[in-house]
Structure 1
Amino acid sequence: MVAKFDAFEINPIHDGDAWKVCDFIIANEDRLKRYFPKTLEQNLNPTLSQLFVEQKVKQFENDEEFLFTLKHSETRALAGLIYIKELDWNTKQGEFAYCIGYPFEGQGLTSKAIQHLSDYAFTILGLETLQIIAHKDNLPSVKVALKTNFKWVKTLINEFTPIGEAPLDMELYELNNQNTRKDLAGF
């Protein structure tokens, strides 16, 4: 377990998560199709989810990408997924991507998970800079970035193209390890 807060816990993805991931993705398909089309496509049935989870476990073990689950500690319900991706070990930089299930939105769970995983990324993984890239109209994601002390850096022109849409400008937020040690220590 990476962290536990309130009645929830954050864990690295593991082989036993395939069914829960499939159920989570299907139940949240409408909210995932715009910003998580690849994750959605790779989890449309239990067989695909098993392959997805196996791949993510290997990527985790090889320090290529880190996928974490956010689960309710008692019921084991999967509340969300959080990635640390786009890793650059030379510059010690990574990017967060996250999604929360409908029943769990608006509870501050994503912000708390990002706070804990920022600490994990800095202390365990040795990263120095973390990024969140969000569309300005994705207000919950922007709120997570700001609430967790990420600072707006710039607008990335035509950064992301959702399926069937024109390219979107995205907002880049960053958190640097040197500036956050004091903030996270009191968390």
Structure 2
Amino acid sequence: MTFDHFKIALLQPNDSVAFFNLIENNRERLEDFFAGTVTKNKTLEESIVYCKQIQKRIEAKTYFPYMITDLNTNTIIGLIDVKNIDWNVPKAELGAFIDANFESNGIVTKAGELVINHIIEIYAFKKLLCRANHRNKGSIAVILKLGFELEGTIRRDYKTTKGEIVDLNYYGRIF
């Protein structure tokens, strides 16, 4: 999938260095809302192992990490992941982040639209959801632009890297 000068594709085993660099360059701003990913990618060696493990999850259809690549520099600049998949409904959760240098340019919104259309067409999900802390104004703006509606707030639902347990707003979209 492409738009403007960006490509969206599933994480590949040879993306581990670029993936580590993306995490490392944005670690501080990601650690509260992507605690698991940040924790598992503290070193390049850990990222190599992580990317190999992710390939198994892609094959098992339990996780789909779509990388956003800037085609001008061939650099991975962001991620939209499809996680917490429940094939019984079928439904899944979306998460996303982008390198700080590319924020507020509409890239995640455009990439999100493409990923949503793709996974609805390929996997026939009936519901998608997004979770966001009320402090994460940028993510909430993207979630709303993508057509999700607030379904409610789950209190004390997520533990950040720093150990804080926070409330999360749940947003859903039905297909």
- Provide the residue aligned with 1:126 in structure 2: 124
**Quick check: 1:160 aligned with 2:173?**
no
- Provide the residue aligned with 2:114 in structure 1: 116
What secondary structure sits across from 1:82 in the alignment? strand
Structure 1 residue 166 displacement after superposition? 3.5
What secondary structure sits across from 2:152 in the alignment? strand
Q: 1:79 aligns with which of 67, 71, 77?
A: 77
Counterparts of 1:42 and 1:165, CA distance in 2:
16
Give runs of aligned pairs for residues 84-123 of structure 1, distance below 5 A. Answer: 84-123=82-121
Counterparts of 1:121 and 1:127, CA distance in 2:
7
What secondary structure sits across from 1:106 in the alignment? coil
Structure 1 residue 165 displacement after superposition? 4.0
What secondary structure sits across from 2:142 in the alignment? helix
Give runs of aligned pairs for residues 39-58 of structure 1, distance below 5 A. Answer: 39-58=37-56
TM-score, normalization by structure 2: 0.96
What whole-Å deviation, never above 9, does each CA across 1:66-112 have from its counterpart, x for those lacking one? 11100012311111011100000001000001111011111111111
| Aligned-residue RMSD, C-alpha | 1.0
Identity of aligned residues (%): 25
- Provide the residue aligned with 2:170 in structure 1: 172
Q: Which letter maps to 1:120?
A: H
Q: 1:27 aligns with which of 25, 28, 32?
A: 25
Q: Which has the larger displacement, 161-170 or 66-75? A: 161-170
Counterparts of 1:172 and 1:7, CA distance in 2:
32
How many residues were matched structurally?
A: 175
Q: Which runs of 5+ in 1 are unaligned?
A: 178-187
- Provide the residue aligned with 1:143 in structure 2: 141
